Amino acid sequence: MTIRKMLMASVAVACAAMPVSALADTSGKKIALSNNYAGNSWRQAMLTSWNKVTGEAVKAGVVAAADAFTTAENQATEQAAQIQNMILQGYDAIVLNAASPTALNGAVKEACDAGITVVSFDGIVTEPCAWRIAVNFKEMGRSQVEYLSKKLPQGGNLLEIRGLAGVFVDDEISAGIHEGVKQFSQFKIVGSVHGDWAQDVAQKAVAGILPSLPEIAGVVTQGGDGYGAAQAIAAAKRPMPVIVMGNREDELKWWKEQKEANGYETMSVSIAPGVSTLAFWVAQQILEGKEVKKDLVVPFLRIDQDNLEQNLANTQAGGVANVEYTQEDAIKVIEAAK
Amino acid sequence: MRPAFSADAMRLAIPALSLTVLLAAVFWLQPRAMSYVGLNLLFNLAVPIALATIAQMLIIAVNDLDLSMGTFVSFVACVTATFLRDAPLLGTLILAGAVLVYAVLGVVIHLRDLPSIVVSLGMSFVWGGLAVLLLPAPGGQAPDWARALMTTKPPLAPIAIVASIVIALGAHLLVMRSSLGVLIRGVGGNERSVERAGWSVLAARAAAYGLAGFFAVLAGIALVGLTTSADANIALRYTLLSIAGVILGGGEFIGGRVSPVGAVIGALTLTLAGSFLSFLRISPDWQIGAQGVILIIVLALRLFLNRVEKREKGQ
């Protein structure tokens, strides 16, 4: 005990004596990714980005290891066991996309108590000792209406396509859209359908509601549903409204075709799967000893008229537009939160 | 020739052996696990699984099967993280009511001669629905005493090991040593002769279901004590894990042949198998398959030994 106390005291003295600017070296640190699910294109892109960026970081000697683990079944108890295994394996930081915001708190607390840095992103955890890189879904919804207000200053009727009923993300984006409509009162939502973030579902739902709607000026969406909406509206031979897209490859392709044919203008917004790499760099910064706020916000990946072609070229067929983040991006996000 | 071991001991030998082999492999792969903290991290999530396995074992003992175990434990977890913390009296009443519902299910299944698989599958939707009603979004908070219980640090062995031993001993006394346990196993073994001997099969089945509900409630409370908060889908895996645990621990689907100590060991083995595969760095795509392979190896081993045993008896 006394030896431990003495050690601790000497560490404390060393810490106090060190100048603030000198940061710890992370080349010996090991980071693990705990992922709950890999069964869709977004998650696959997320894992590919992780492997690419962290592979380079390991090669460059920034960190010693950055291993990715995915649970076989999307279950909180299984992921809790996975995190406990990571503690035993001696990782210095765990980057986490969680199956449940609350059911992993016990395991996360164990990790924190073992001195491990836990950074959750996308699927975040509520345990106070962990860092959170959250998506501001409300702002994602609101920004769509803001864009439309600049594009169509005279306002008009909007059709809202929602996601999967009962899911938190759907409620948040929709709340943001309604907030935006309140802010820009020249707009009015005349219809709302659930597109389940899938083009075929959205197409059927929009085709079903169209006959009952007056002329619509814009369609506000949640991603994965813009192309289906466009197909339904084209089939009904109605004038094409401004459809906000969600960075899917089919949506961007359709937009580009329309842009070339008749100068169609819109914008597209979603979260890049490469956010896993942002979480990686944030974890690295924390290990380096940077003071980082517990709650950070993911920047959106927004595609506009002028950078459409470039983004489409970088997007895989059937995939989602992606960006991989760098250490500088992470530092910028950390600074912005201060 | 008199067999060196009793049949019960044989029944226990294989699960115990598999657990030892797996544990040795894990220690070899990850020496850090060979410590007080390490053992607790390896096994603490096995405690609720062990309790759920005992619950499933009681149902299997009367030749039935419970497919609602996972959703029921999830429901209990939701009650524990909400009512049991904020209004302990009401929470206790709800949980007592849930145990009573389990006993009533046993009565209904017996009186109407219904297949337990169908009834419990139906009930799984009821429990799942109630859990979502209680906690539409994940949340709630564990009662302080549950959290304290699951994170105590007893001397000598970590709480995960102590709890497993206590559960195994308690269930052993209840199922193997008490008259009620004999009756329950008798119903699974030969319902008719139990009836002719003047016992009420109805009461035995109701007792088995009620006890199963009680152990499942303990499983839910232990789980929330570990996770600190609940989620309506928190324990869906427990249905299959509990059945696998019973079989892995030497139980059989029919005939009232169960082993409480084996069931706890089975639950520990299943948990350890997951960690073992994860330490081996097997890709997640293969992990479910690999877990299946471990199960099949253990069961094949048992079948083989059963055959040897039979042949010796025949001679």
CB A337 within 8 A of CB A293: yes
Q: For B240-291, how does the pLDDT look when each residue is reduced to its tens digit (9 = 90+)?
A: 999 999 998 888 888 888 999 999 999 999 899 888 888 888 776 777 788 7
d(CA B256, CA B253): 8
- Residue ranges making up the domain that contains B45: 5-305
Please tell me the predicted confidence (pLDDT) of residue B310. 78
pLDDT of the residue at A13: 47
3-state secondary structure of B87: coil
**Measured distance CA(B110)–CA(B20) in Å, rounded:** 40
pLDDT of residue A15: 45
Q: CB-CB: which of B227, B231, B275 is closest to A85?
A: B275
In the block, which residue shows the tokens 């000792």? Answer: A129
- Residues (pLDDT < 70) of chain A are 1-23, 166
User: Does any domain span residue B296?
Assistant: yes
Check which CATH number belongs to the domain holding B102 and give it. 1.10.3470
Question: Residue B310: inside a domain, yes or no?
Answer: no
Question: Which residues have C-beta within 8 Å of that of residue A128, sequence separation ≥ 6?
Answer: A294
Provide the pLDDT for residue A205: 95
Nearest CA-CA partner of B270 in B74, B37, B45? B45
Determine the distance in angstroms separating the CA of A329 from the nearest CA of chain B, rounded to an integer: 30
Inform me whether the C-beta atom of residue A87 falls under 8 Å from chain B C-beta atoms: yes
Measured in angstroms, the CA of B139 and the nearest CA of chain A are apart by 6
Distance (Å) of CA A291 to CA A63, A280, A331, B248: 19, 16, 11, 49
Residue of A71, A77, A114 with shortest CB distance to B45: A77
B133: amino acid identity, one letter: L
Tokens of A152: 């169509």
Residue A99, pLDDT score: 87
pLDDT at residue B147, rounded to an integer = 93
Rounded Cα distance between B96 and B99, Å, is 5
Interface confidence (ipTM) of the complex: 0.84
Q: Please, which residues have CB within 8 angstroms of residue B194's CB and are 6 or more apart in sequence? A: B183, B186, B187, B201, B204
pLDDT digits (tens, 9 = 90+) for B77-125: 999 999 999 999 999 999 999 999 999 999 999 999 999 999 999 999 9
Mutate to test the interface with B, among A33, A70, A92, A102 (most CBs of B within 10 A): A102
In a domain, B36, yes or no: yes
Phi first, then psi, for residue A192 (nearest 5°) are -145, 125
A78 touching chain B per CB within 8 A: yes
Out of A266-270, B42-46, B134-138, pick the least confident. Answer: B134-138
- In a domain, residue B313? The reply is no
* Cα–Cα distance list, A207 to A188, A216, A240, A253 (Å): 20, 14, 14, 21
> Angle between the B46-61 and B179-189 helix axes, to the nearest 10 degrees?
60
**pLDDT for A213:** 93
State pLDDT tens for residues B48-72: 999 999 999 999 999 999 999 999 9
Give residue A20's pLDDT: 41
Q: Greater confidence, B123 or B10?
A: B123
Provide the pLDDT for residue B103.
97
**Domains contained in chain B, number:** 1
Predicted pLDDT at B120: 96
> What whole-number distance in Å separates Cα of residue A86 and Cα of residue A89?
5
pLDDT at residue number A166: 67
The answer to whether residue B229 sits within a structural domain is yes
Does residue B133 fall inside a structural domain? yes
Contact residues, chain B, for A82 at CB < 8 Å: 278
Task: Give the pLDDT score at B4.
Answer: 54
Residue A66 confidence (pLDDT): 93
Q: Closest Cα of chain B to A308: distance in Å?
A: 35
Which run of H or E residues covers position B278?
A: helix B260-279
DSSP letter for B68, please: T
- B244 inside domain: yes
Instruction: Indicate if the pLDDT at residue B5 is higher than 70.
Output: no
pTM: 0.81
User: In chain B, what residues touch A127 (CB-CB under 8 Å)?
Assistant: 228
